Amino acid sequence: MLDLEVVPERSLGNEQWEFALGMPFSQAISILQKHCRIIKNVQVLYSEQTPLCHDLILNLTQDGIKLLFDATSQRLKVIEVYDLSKVKLKYCGVHFNSQAIAPTIEQIDQSFGATHPGVYNAAEQLFHLNFRGLSFSFQLDSWNEAPKYEIPHGAMVKRMHIYTGNNLQETRAPAMPLACFLGNIYAECVDVLRDRAGPLGLKLRLLTAGSGLGVMADAKVRSLERNIYFGDSCQDVLGALGSPHKVFYKSEDKMKIHSPSPHKQVPSKCNDYFFNYFTLGVDILFDSSTHLVKKFVLHTNYPGHYNFNIYHRCDFKIPLVIKKEGAESQTEDCILTTYSKWDQIQELLGHPMEKPVVLHRSSSANNTNPFGSTFCFGLQRMIFEVMQNNHIASVTLYGAPRTTSQARPESSSSSH
């Protein structure tokens, strides 16, 4: 049985690990994978059709704990303990819930020092006792007529929630805590730079837990801005973003069959290669002979996609140039984001002329993909990989026009 320390408005954990509010989804998964012998039977719950309307949830069924992640930021918003019989809990090192100590109203008063009465919810038949960043819900099963102002003696805690602020209903996932940076850079947002013809590069607003000189210097989150363009060298990118998490060399391109004259193409001696920046949600493709940037891939990290949880969500904005009918000079600008749906994009850009390329990813080790195929559409030097729920899985951006036009995002990380 897990024995965990409760820190209101911050975390639930022990000396080995902690689930901290604001923690990215992938870090919580890493903790669960590392301790899979102790924490078993974990469920991932999400909405397949409307992934932005419902929290992304990790349910630790064996331990009676749910971790609720904000659907948009994918950071930890609420920690819920829904079965206190499956876990030991302590506050400031002293247990208030274990096999020997029942979590009664008296025990909670003693441990937390309640300074105000509970709030009764008639619909749930629960009394809620709220502190800043922490609330307890008491079951009233054995009382026929529930008192309206005072929690009855001996009432037991049914659920506990840890969150930010004073109101569980209105809470939001906080910014990522310093402890979660672990030496990585994260992208607050990524703007696609473009001219009238198409994309030129990326403007990235980066977050890093930079600290001053000396061991005792105060670490704090720093914000930096970096621009990367098509045609930038390998060194330019390393200077701007630091080392990638992985370098992935492309295998021979299976899509050559779709080019106008595949038999005339001379096989290259060395392959193009990707820099995979997983915490930015970005891949950068370099040409094998010039070592200059020729492609960017932006990942949206929606649950239900084959690559889910490999990349952090890239929160991008792509300005679109829409030519209005009538006067030739009239154009209208609008912004496409990580959260735009394909039907909205088609309304703005018009339907692609060619049929989509169907992309069916699968690993060589296990030749199945439970999530089904995605569809790739090419428009304005961009390829949109579209999921079956109409959301965008990735956007591939191309530099200046090339001789072949192929609608397919790259298999851009060695984990495929």
Q: What percent of the chain shows pLDDT beyond 70?
A: 82
pLDDT digits (tens, 9 = 90+) for 189-204: 999 999 888 999 999 9
Please count the other Cβ atoms lying within 10 Å of the Cβ belonging to residue 80. Answer: 20
For residue 379, what pLDDT band results from cuts at 50, 70 and 90? Answer: confident
Residue 135's domain is classified under what CATH number? Answer: 2.60.460
Pair 130, 276 in one domain: no
Count of structural domains within the chain:
2
Pair 223, 372 in one domain: yes
For residue 351, what pLDDT band results from cuts at 50, 70 and 90? Answer: confident
Pair 64, 137 in one domain: yes
Q: The domain containing residue 203 runs over which residues?
A: 181-398
Pair 354, 255 in one domain: yes
Domain end position, chosen among 132, 163, 194? 163
Whole-number Å distance between alpha carbons of 372 and 362: 10
- Would 70 be classed as within a structural domain? yes
More confident residue, 326 or 49: 49
Pair 206, 151 in one domain: no
pLDDT digits (tens, 9 = 90+) for 23-81: 999 999 999 999 999 999 999 999 999 999 999 999 999 999 999 999 999 999 999 99
Please, are residues 307 and 314 in contact by the beta-carbon 8 Å criterion?
no
- Would 228 be classed as within a structural domain? yes
Pair 105, 153 in one domain: yes
pLDDT, the chain, mean = 87
Pair 127, 260 in one domain: no
Pair 357, 392 in one domain: yes
Pair 154, 228 in one domain: no
Pair 234, 265 in one domain: yes
Q: 21 CB contacts (<8 Å, ≥6 apart)?
A: 9, 10, 11, 76, 77, 78, 79, 162, 163, 164, 173, 174, 177
User: How large is the average pLDDT for residues 375-393?
Assistant: 93
Please count the other Cβ atoms lying within 10 Å of the Cβ belonging to residue 246. Answer: 15
Domain end position, chosen among 163, 197, 219? 163
pTM over 0.75: yes
Domain end position, chosen among 163, 189, 210? 163
Question: What is the predicted pLDDT for the residue at 408?
Answer: 47
- Would 191 be classed as within a structural domain? yes
Question: What is the predicted pLDDT for the residue at 291?
Answer: 95
pLDDT digits (tens, 9 = 90+) for 110-156: 999 876 778 888 788 888 999 999 999 998 765 555 556 677 888 89
Pair 119, 252 in one domain: no
Question: What is the predicted pLDDT for the residue at 211?
Answer: 58
Whole-number Å distance between alpha carbons of 35 and 4: 14
Pair 322, 185 in one domain: yes
